[in-house]
């Protein structure tokens, strides 16, 4: 398991944790940690989301990612918070098509996540692929459960969670939301670089996860 309070120093070179994920239709998606150089591209990505997608993702009617949230996203590992982007080559240019942020609680071994896919790329299996990748990344941190919360009327996220085997349980932090969760003992069916790096460094101490692997 990684250090409990601050992963910045353990992660080192963030590029090492990059995954190439194959979509159902054969296209490949790169999932990688956000780096400070991504600030402008990430801000543009959030501005380009439809009002509805941005509202569903941030749960407030803002036109862009608030600076305090951007700052957190750019400091991967700090306070056990992580942020990744999914990129695809569009017309020869690597383009952000999705993003996710997740945070790990070493006390409860829970990881909470939120994600979005750009409107033009929704419904193509990218959300499913990213979620599988997140499961592996969370397991590599030592998490035994991944959970999220979304607005009660967010059919897309509810559909994605249901399809990926999440159960709707627990008390959401806000009455407008539902909470969904999944145990991570099967997470390693989909390998990711974070898992491999953690295994090599001897961080994986969760016996249940090792057996499943």
Ligand X SMILES: CC(C)(COP(=O)(O)OP(=O)(O)OC[C@H]1O[C@@H](n2cnc3c(N)ncnc32)[C@H](O)[C@@H]1OP(=O)(O)O)[C@@H](O)C(=O)NCCC(=O)NCCS
- Interface residues with ligand X (CB under 6 A) are 53, 56-57, 114-117, 122-128, 148, 150, 154-157, 159-160, 163
Instruction: Report the nearest approach of ligand X to the CB of residue 45 (Å).
Output: 11
Structure tokens at 100: 């996710």
By beta-carbon proximity to ligand X, the closer residue of 155 and 189 is 155
Structure tokens at 197: 């790096």
By beta-carbon proximity to ligand X, the closer residue of 3 and 151 is 151
Supply φ then ψ for residue 27, to 5 degrees: -70, 155
By beta-carbon proximity to ligand X, the closer residue of 79 and 123 is 123
By beta-carbon proximity to ligand X, the closer residue of 30 and 156 is 156
What is the DSSP annotation of 132-144? Answer: HHHHHHHHHHT-S
Sheet holding 177-183, edge to edge: 19-22, 28-33, 81-90, 93-105, 110-117, 145-151, 177-183, 167-168
Compute the distance between CA of residue 26 and CA of residue 18 in angstroms, rounded to an integer: 18
Instruction: Report the nearest approach of ligand X to the CB of residue 175 (Å).
Output: 16
Instruction: Report the nearest approach of ligand X to the CB of residue 181 (Å).
Output: 13
Instruction: Report the nearest approach of ligand X to the CB of residue 21 (Å).
Output: 12
């Amino acid at each position: 398991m990684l250090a409990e309070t601050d992963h910045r120093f353990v992660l080192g070179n963030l590029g090492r944790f990059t995954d190439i994920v194959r979509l159902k239709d054969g296209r490949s998606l790169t999932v990688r940690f956000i780096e400070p150089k991504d600030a402008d591209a990430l801000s543009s990505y959030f501005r380009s989301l439809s009002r509805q997608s941005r509202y569903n993702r941030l749960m407030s009617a803002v036109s862009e990612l608030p600076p305090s949230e951007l700052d957190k996203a750019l400091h991967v590992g700090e306070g056990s918070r992580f942020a990744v982007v999914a990129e695809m080559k569009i017309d020869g240019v690597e383009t952000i098509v999705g993003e996710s942020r997740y945070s790990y609680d070493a006390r409860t071994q829970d990881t909470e996540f939120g994600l979005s896919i750009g409107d033009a790329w929704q419904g193509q299996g990218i959300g499913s692929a990213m979620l599988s990748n997140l499961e592996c990344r969370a397991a590599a941190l030592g998490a035994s459960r991944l959970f999220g919360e979304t607005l009660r009327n967010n059919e897309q996220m509810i559909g994605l969670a249901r399809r990926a085997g999440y159960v709707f349980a627990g008390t959401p932090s806000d009455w407008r939301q539902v909470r969904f969760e999944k145990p991570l003992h099967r997470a390693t069916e989909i390998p990711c670089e974070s898992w491999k790096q953690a295994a090599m460094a001897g961080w994986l101490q969760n016996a249940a996860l090792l057996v499943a692997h």
